[in-house]
Amino acid sequence: MSTAFGSPPLEPVRLDVRRELERPEARLDPSAAYARLRRLGPVLRWRTWTQDSLVITRYEEVMNVLRDPRVANDRRTLGDGGKGPLERWWTPSIMKLFLGSMVMKDPPDHRRLRNLVQKAFTPAMVDNLTGRVEQITAELLDAAARKPVFDLIADLALPLPLTVISEMLGVPEPERMEFRALIGKVLDPDGMSLTGFIFNYPNMVRLNRFLRRLVQLRREQPGDDLVTALVQADVGGDRFSEDEMISMVFLLLFAGHETTVNLIGNGVLALLQHPEQLQRLRERPELIDSAIEELLRFTNPVGTVAPRFVREDLEIAGFKIPRGSTLTLLLASANFDEAAFADADRLDITRSPNRHVSFGFGAHYCLGAPLARVEARVAIPALLQRFPGLRLAVPADQVRWRANMGLRGLASLPLAVG
Ligand code: HEM
Domains and CATH numbers, the chain: 13-416 (1.10.630.10)
144 Cβ inside 6 Å of ligand 1: no
The Cβ of residue 83 has, within 10 Å, a number of other Cβ atoms equal to 12
379 Cβ inside 6 Å of ligand 1: no
Query: Has residue 41 got a pLDDT over 80?
Result: yes
| Three-state secondary structure call for residue 361 | coil
368 CA to centre of ligand 1 in angstroms = 6
367 CA to centre of ligand 1 in angstroms = 6
Highest mean pLDDT of the ranges 89-93, 202-206, 285-289:
285-289
Query: Has residue 302 got a pLDDT over 90?
Result: yes
Q: Which of 230, 244, 367, 410 to mutate to test the pocket of ligand 1 (most atoms within 8 A of CB)?
A: 367
Q: Shortest CA distance to 139 belongs to which of 378, 374, 409?
A: 378
β 43-47/13-14 pair status: parallel
Segment 142-160, tens digit of pLDDT? 999 999 999 999 999 999 9
Query: Has residue 192 got a pLDDT over 70?
Result: no
Which band of pLDDT confidence, cut at 50, 70 and 90, is reported for residue 85?
Answer: low
User: What burial class does residue 36 get, using C-beta atoms within 10 Å of its C-beta: 0-12 exposed, 13-18 middle, 19+ buried?
Assistant: middle
327 Cβ inside 6 Å of ligand 1: no
How far is Cα 7 from Cα 260, in angstroms, rounded to an integer?
Answer: 45
Give residue 188's pLDDT: 64
16 CA to centre of ligand 1 in angstroms = 26
- Closest approach atom of ligand 1 to CA 117: 35
| Three-state secondary structure call for residue 19 | helix
42 Cβ inside 6 Å of ligand 1: no
Which band of pLDDT confidence, cut at 50, 70 and 90, is reported for residue 196?
Answer: low
What's the mean pLDDT in 43-61?
A: 92
356 CA to centre of ligand 1 in angstroms = 14
What's the mean pLDDT in 338-357?
A: 98
Over pLDDT 70: what percentage of the chain?
Answer: 90
Highest mean pLDDT of the ranges 63-67, 215-219, 221-225:
63-67
